[in-house]
Amino acid sequence: MIVDLLPTDEQTAIRDSVAAMVARVFPVARLHEATSFGAGAEIAAWQELAGLGLFGLGLSEEEGGVGYGIAEEVTVARELGRFLVSPSVLATMLAVHAASADLRAAFCAGEKRAAFANPFRPVDFATDSADVQLLDARGADVAVLWNDYQLALYVISDCGKAVEAIDETISLNRVSLNLGSPLRAVPGAALPRRAGLLLAAYLTGIAEATLAMAVDYAKIRIQFGQPIGAFQAIKHYCAEMARRSEAALSQTFYAAIEATVREDEDFFEMACARLLAGDAAVENARFNVQIHGGMGFTYEADAHLFLKRALLVSAINSGVRQEQMRIMAEKPE
Amino acid sequence: MRLIETEELSNFRAEVRAWLEQNVPRDTRPREGPEMRAFDMAWQQTQYKGGWAGISWPVEYGGRGLPLTHQLVWHEEYSRAGAPSSGNMFIALSHAGPTLIVQGTPAQREFHLVRILRGEVTWCQGFSEPGAGSDLGSLKTRAVLDGDHLVINGSKIWTTYGPGADFQELLVRTDPDAQKHRGLTWLIADMKAPGIEIRPIRAMSGITHFAQVFYDNVRIPLTNIVGGLNNGWKVAMTTLGFERGTASIAHQIELSRTVETLLQIAREIDAPSGRGRAIDDDAIAAELATVRAEVAALRSMTALTISRNMREAVPGPEGNLVALQFGELIRRVHLFAIRLLGPRGLERHNEYGEWPIEYLECFKWAIGGGTTEIRRNVVAERLLGLPKGPQA
């Protein structure tokens, strides 16, 4: 399969418009204010996100969408990751693909919001209920839950018990979801695969943002009479961060294109992307803390926000072992 | 971010696949000696006769003049078919040829390019010196002007496929007063010229495929200068750039095949516990999955690099990221293989292959053409813009 992994002109335009809006409305510094927690800033700007066409981006025009595909959604998800935008934005971008016509229209118009449900064990949709965590679900309408064979939407009637997340800027609730009456259930691996791709792209954005932060800091922080970025130890950390970012980015893009081409629903490329993007996000965030030294260890700096978010998002309906098992289950061509 | 495999390209792929199925040599490639060189040249001649040499080289020099995408398809199918590495032809096909196409004089192109494609000559590289490895700019082999010739004195080392080579891409110092990277010149050296002595070097794997080359008043005509006097660094960087671009795709697909072979072996051999097969062991399965993912990423990173190369003529420093990924990954895979195989992994030749030799050989990828450490410096300084370190 011969691919062009650089953005097309249209993808660049989409990226630029989303990046401009996100940088203006959701600067990372917002997350130092409790009013921004639990998707506070996103909820306040939800109409603007809808106005940008985010929620109908990958829907056909007949479905009321913009008419693009997974590649463009992945482009957007990467920008959302850079600014640690609430995962509920991603969840809504995903949920539109499973929604009925009415709900789809409501999502696209920014009238309804979805949230990820993170199950404590792989979901068996034949059972009555599933214990899940809901992420940034306060005020959300619909929970999105999937396993390898199906993706389903559920009405959020009760958020359950609030728990404190490792990333305290995200609201986390424990609840037992009644699986018997989904709003919609879409069988097949296409949407679970799409979920994985969006999350991989978001994690790639975190990996890239932390690389950029670390490099910027290494250029200005002076010790022993020179910028710390002149020391090889720091340079080599940064070079490895760049390698991990490049691996995550190129694999996620490749998997996104593959998903638009292959009829048979195969998790291999997506699982590779999720595994590597998760690793890149967590490792780069960790090294960003390290390169920021004492400041990196403080609550006041931004570095910890990325580490916490990377740990949280890389664990949404996934884990290193789950992705490894998916990779072993499928044989690449 | 889009698929560019057109119907034309798919047809081309089918054509390539069919030809390779019929023509890939069945014999095992010899690992060293004149037999190895003869094998590599014969295989190149077969490709030339089949019309598959120089797919992206200009038509006027005997190539097919097809776009880079076709070259890529060729590399993909080539590796998938298990075709032998280009070996002794590698420098000629992937370094010297492309460099001459970009930087050579009409006479140089006319003489050399078609001979390369026909598999009539092999080339070697003369960049590194005993005192100039990663620090290539400090090389000392001197070239002094004497009439219409340059007279060369000094020594080159790590000259892969040096024994038997016809020509060498030789980097020499022509201006001793110039700053490190200035004052170098890229030359075509005739390896049969008087005053050249080649001493083979045995690698830690036990295989002999490279050499040290000594130059004692070797006379090279000025017409053999490529890219102009004292412009050798720029020409050499072009060459190294090619190495980091498409040329790496064959190695990358070969590594992918290696990992799939390991998966097959893990399905056959006993688990470390003695119960079940190795693949049923969680730790083994986890490592196999991780290297599968890293190899997939290597393929995607190469695709991204090539996407960039299709828009910019001269490859940028991003190619180092692919080399970093490859250099560390190939060693990880082969170390895993030796451990997976248990006692068999200690045997240089056994029913599963020659894994100890492969393992020891693959260290070259993290050393040759720029060590991992130098590549990290290059990424940090040229790609990320971090301050220059001492001298680098």
**Which residue matches tokens 């990828």?**
B365
Taking all residues of chain B, what is their mean pLDDT, rounded to a whole number? 92
Is B129 designated active site?
Answer: no
Residue B79: pLDDT band by 50, 70, 90 thresholds? confident
pLDDT tens digits along A231-253:
999 999 999 999 999 999 999 99
Query: Does the residue A267 lie in any domain?
Result: yes
Give percent of chain A above pLDDT 90: 95
pLDDT of B318 strictly over 70: yes
Compute and round to an integer the Cα radius of gyration of chain B: 22
Q: What percent of chain B stands above pLDDT 90?
A: 74
Q: Stretch B219-230: mean pLDDT, rounded?
A: 97
- What is residue A310's predicted lDDT score, i.e. its pLDDT? 98
Mean pLDDT, chain A, integer: 96
In chain B, count of helices (H) and strands (E)? 12, 9
For residue B135, what pLDDT is reported?
Answer: 81
Here the CATH number for the domain that contains residue A236 is 1.20.140.10
Contact status, residue B183 vs residue B207, Cβ threshold 8 Å: no
Q: Give the span between the Cα atoms of A158 and A141, in whole angstroms.
A: 10
The single residue listed with the structure tokens 């932060």 is A213
pLDDT for residue B319:
87
Q: And the tokens for B174?
A: 């022509």
Q: Mean pLDDT across the stretch A150-166?
A: 95
Residue range A107-115: mean pLDDT, rounded: 97
**What is the number of domains present in chain A?**
1
Domain of residue A265 covers 190-329
Minimum distance, in Å, between the CA of residue B15 and any CA atom of chain A? 15
Pairing state between β B149-160 and B208-221: antiparallel
Phi/psi of residue A166, each to 5°?
-55, -35
Record: contact A5-B304, CB cut-off 8 A: yes
Arithmetic mean of pLDDT, A284-288: 98
The chain A residue lying nearest B77, using CA atoms, is A1
**Are A250 and B383 an interchain contact pair (Cβ–Cβ within 8 Å)?**
no
Residues 302..361 of B with a Cβ closer than 8 Å to A: which? Answer: 303-304, 307-308, 310-311, 318, 321, 324-325
Contact B3 A2 (CB under 8 A): yes
CA distances to A147, B118, B245 from B59, in Å: 54, 14, 22
Residue A163 lies in a domain: no
Per-residue pLDDT at B162: 92
3-state class (DSSP) for residue A289: helix
Residues ≥6 apart with Cβ < 8 Å to B10? none
Q: What is the mean pLDDT of residues A98-113?
A: 97
Does A122 map to a domain?
Answer: no
Out of A11, A269, A321, the one facing B1 most closely (by C-beta) is A11
pLDDT surpasses 90 at A194: yes
- Would you state the pLDDT for residue B260? 93
Check if B285 contacts A (Cβ < 8 Å): yes
Q: Which 44-103 residues of chain B touch chain A by CB within 8 A?
A: 69, 72-73
Distance of CA B273 to the CA centre of its chain: 40
How far is the alpha carbon of A276 from chain B, nearest alpha carbon, in Å?
7
- The residues in B 237-256 lying below 8 A from A, measured between CB atoms, are 256
Residue for token pair 């034309």:
B8
CA separation for the pair B245, B319 (Å, rounded): 6
Interatomic CA distance for residues A117 and A323, integer angstroms = 18
Chain A residues in contact with B288 by the CB 8 A cut-off are 328
Within-domain flag for A218: yes
Interface contact flag, B384 A239, Cβ < 8 Å? yes
All residues of chain B having their beta carbon less than 8 Å from the beta carbon of residue A272 are: 292-293, 296-297
Nearest-neighbour CA in chain A from B376: distance (Å): 5
> Among candidates A18, A244, A56, which has minimal Cα distance to B301?
A244
Instruction: Quote the minimal CA–CA distance from A307 to chain B in Å.
Output: 21
**Does the CB of B267 have a partner CB in chain A at under 8 Å?**
no
The answer to whether residue A170 is domain-embedded is: no
For residues A86 and A172, is the Cβ–Cβ distance under 8 A?
no
Tell me the per-residue pLDDT of B286-295, one tens digit each, with 9 for 90 and over.
Answer: 999 999 999 9
**Per-residue pLDDT tens for B347-364?**
999 999 999 999 999 999
What's B347's DSSP letter?
A: -
Q: Which pLDDT does position B245 carry in this prediction?
A: 57
Res B176 pLDDT > 50: yes
Q: Return the pLDDT at B5.
A: 80
Q: Which 147-166 residues of chain B touch chain A by CB within 8 A?
A: none
- Euclidean distance between CA atoms A51 and B241, whole angstroms: 45
> Residue A215: what pLDDT?
98
A:100-139 residues touching chain B, CB 8 A cutoff: none
In the set B76, B77, B243, B287, the catalytic residue is B243
Does residue A58 form part of some domain? Answer: no
Q: What pLDDT score was predicted for residue A262?
A: 76
- Residue B392: pLDDT band (50, 70, 90) is very low
Q: What angle do CA B73, B248, B299 make, to 5 degrees?
A: 65
pLDDT at position B16: 97
Which of B8, B253, B374, B386 has the most A C-beta neighbours within 10 Å, making it the best mutation to test the interface with A? B386
- Supply the pTM of this predicted model: 0.93
Q: What is the 3-state secondary structure (H, E, C) of A33-86?
A: CHHHCCCHHHHHCHHHHHHCCHHHCCCCCCCCCCCCCHHHHHHHHHHHHHCCCC
Name the residue among A2, A4, A328 with its Cβ closest to that of B289. A328
Cα B306 from chain centroid? 16
**Inter-chain CB proximity A226 and B376 less than 8 Å:** no
Tell which residue, A169, A152, A160, A163, has the closest CA to residue A36.
Answer: A169
pLDDT at A264: 67
Q: Do A251 and B297 touch (CB under 8 A)?
A: yes
Is B1 within 8 Å of A332 when comparing Cβ atoms? no
Strand ranges, E, within chain B = 2-3, 123-126, 142-146, 149-160, 167-173, 184-190, 196-202, 208-221, 225-226
Strand partners, A176: A131
Q: Is residue A241 part of a domain?
A: yes
Inter-chain contact B318–A254, Cβ cutoff 8 Å? no
Average pLDDT estimate for B15-22: 97
Which of A99-103, A254-258, A326-330 bottoms out in mean pLDDT, i.e. has the lowest? A326-330
Nearest Cα to Cα of residue A192 among A78, A126, A96, A94: A94
| The CA-based dihedral angle spanning residues A279, A281, A282, A284, taken in that order and rounded to the nearest 10 degrees | 110
Give SS3 for B153: strand
pLDDT score, position A201: 98
* Closest by CA position to B118, among listed B49, B168, B171, B164: B49
Contact status of B1 with chain A (Cβ, < 8 Å): yes
Predicted confidence (pLDDT) at residue B391 exceeds the cutoff of 60: no
Task: Give pLDDT, residue B99.
Answer: 92
Contact A253 B69 (CB under 8 A): no
CA B108 from chain centre, in angstroms, equals 22
- Strand positions, DSSP E, chain A: 3-4, 114-119, 129-135, 142-146, 150-155, 161-163, 172-178, 184-187, 222-223, 226-227
- Go through the domains of chain B in sequence order and give each one's CATH number: 7-122 (1.10.540.10), 124-230 (2.40.110.10), 245-383 (1.20.140.10)
Give the range among A219-223, B82-86, B204-208 with minimum mean pLDDT.
B82-86
**Residue-level pLDDT at A129:** 96
- What integer pLDDT is reported at residue B242 of this predicted model? 60
Confidence of residue B85 (pLDDT cuts 50, 70, 90): confident
Whether residue A286 is contained in a domain is answered as yes
pLDDT band at B253 (very low <50, low <70, confident <90, very high): confident
Mean pLDDT, rounded, for B104-125: 96
